[in-house]
Amino acid sequence: MESSSQQDFLRDLSVEANAFWKRQGARHSLLKVEEHRRHGFLVSTDPRLLDLDVIHGFLTNCYWAKGIPRDLVARSIEHSLCFGIYDGKAQVGFARIITDFATIAYLGDVFVLESHRGRGLSKWMMECITQHPALQGLRRWILLTRDAHELYAKFGFTPLKSADRYMERHQPDVYEIGKTQ
């Protein structure tokens, strides 16, 4: 249970975050901070709560973004709708959505720190993401995963029905190439 001062702090933070997004103009007019609490954890879209050290620390060591520079992580966050999971003030999970808020969304960089796995946090974060008001009515959601098919299937994701229609330009060593130039 949160103390009165914690509740006041979080309420004030939410008010400040909404003011921040209003200042960002029309591009972010759909985005008001969304927050959900469960069993002492918080899922929030407040960009000010994001811990770049935690996010970069995880991503630079994971299979899909190994070696990604910190400045690229910061830029990717700046141009995405991000969801953080917090245990108190400590960030323990993350996901980001790249979208036009009208027709399509790409879900990427989803993780829960190993110390917090097995508690249903990734499933809860996915519930928060798929129920976000600004992400309703999209025609298509896309993601890539090596090992979390079962999780995403619970939220309607399926293997590609028409894989022959999809193309990609994939540069798997792009972060390593950038270091040598």
pTM for the structure as a whole: 0.81
Whether the Cβ atoms of residue 83 and residue 43 lie closer than 8 Å to each other: yes
Q: Is residue 16's pLDDT more than 80?
A: no
Position 62 scores a pLDDT of 95
76: helix, coil or strand?
A: helix
Position 25 scores a pLDDT of 45
Helices 70-78 and 52-59 cross at an angle (nearest 10°) of 120
> Average pLDDT in the 120-144 region?
97
Indicate the range of 11-25, 60-74, 152-166 predicted with least confidence.
11-25
> Average pLDDT in the 14-32 region?
56
- Which CATH number characterizes residue 163's domain? 3.40.630.30
What letters, b where the CB count within 10 A reaches 16 and e where it falls short, cover 60-99?
beeeebeebeeebbeebbeebbbbbbbbeeebbbbbbbeb
Position 29 scores a pLDDT of 47
Q: Is residue 57's pLDDT more than 70?
A: yes
Closest CA to 140 of 181, 105, 116: 105
**173 — pLDDT class (breaks 50, 70, 90):** confident
**106 — pLDDT class (breaks 50, 70, 90):** very high
Number of domains in the chain: 1
Residue whose entry in the numeric block shows the structure tokens 């508690």: 119
The boundaries of the domain holding residue 136 are 4-180
**56 — pLDDT class (breaks 50, 70, 90):** very high
Q: Is residue 131's pLDDT more than 70?
A: yes
Indicate the range of 73-87, 115-129, 166-180 predicted with least confidence.
166-180
Structure tokens at 65: 């973004």
Closest CA to 125 of 95, 162, 92, 163: 95
The average confidence (pLDDT) of the chain is: 88
Whether the Cβ atoms of residue 123 and residue 151 lie closer than 8 Å to each other: yes
